[in-house]
Structure 1
């Protein structure tokens, strides 16, 4: 139940915040706390080799599935807080929020993700729900300001292709504006805002750049456009390559 994903086929039988209450769920968890540390085997596609497709099996904690499931994500702060209270994870794992799940990603990264879903209304609902989870985690002291830069949360949000998660981006930027200037291993958030699918990318560029100008109205804000990554490329260069110089100039005039 706690580890079930909603695949949109009408067969979801897991936690549902529209049906289940936090009080009921907490009662169950206190009776059976071991379910929170019971690792679930998941097959992932590791690419192809000479013999065909390679499947790897990885083990993941239930809290990871909560972060990925819109109907259940509201229960995540409860689970993390209870896991800490009951000492179910090491202290540095912060109730499971900092557990590594795959390819360098932690559970917090899944709160930045957008689903492969075509419905704008669905994405808006998910953005609202995940924003409320982030707010609750901050109130509980389970999401810290330094996490934004330490784990590249803003960059992770900006590179999501399927939906422009404006509410979550605003939450992170307004909490720590300096994250706009902070590169992860490769790029600053504005680099990532230029990538992705065509439909929301212009909106992302304008939104991120305008915030940079707002919080850093002098040299630092403008310099975001010309900050080089490890490929020696700037956001301005990427934008010109993608849209052409004329359209890029129009974007800047609108900021």
Structure 2
């Protein structure tokens, strides 16, 4: 009588191979899910209500004050809850390569979490965010953002070149508008990429609200406390942080020399 091999015996190698493939897929899916999970959470998407236009003879002051969420440091990898998103303040990383992050254009697939760039804000940078489902994430949108970065002016008070601490241009999906320009404590929501509006916002508020001074910058004066003609809260609002004080537990690190702007596909490595 001829011995007939069982199904398992006949296809043992194939079955083992399939089992290995399935195991690798499960492990890979777990790793991807863990890595993709946001290391922050948002309670509210910041959505200020526009007010009346400026009165005749008064000047417009762009943007909206966002209530302070503090400025404490957290360990890299800690999950941070933000009351408002996009955050214009809040807890953040304080480690080279993790926060502040390199000032450059980050592509849609690059990692640039708020825990990193909030530290840039703390040192006076402008952060420009675009949503992943909007024009900013397209090829044309990335080209326009690259052009804005490449022509970004020196900082208004310290005269720092673009690439030292800002601007940071990055994807951020947890917001109500396709774009948002941010300095510490203040947000300018944008329905479209408006370079002039962004530069006006930067000129009005750049390096005037951040609680930590730029290295090598002369002492600054606080913004005017004149009524805010844009309809947003005035600079003297209690919710706006003072540029002359810092409540952080210690001095924060900040890049000491300009960083080159690599291609959008590359992200800075954490150390």
TM-score range, shorter chain: under 0.3
Ranked by relative contact order (alpha carbons within 8 Å, sequence separation 6 or more), the top structure is 2
Taking structure 1 as the reference length, the TM-score comes to 0.23
Q: Work out which of the two has the higher radius of gyration on C-alpha atoms and give 1 or 2.
A: 2
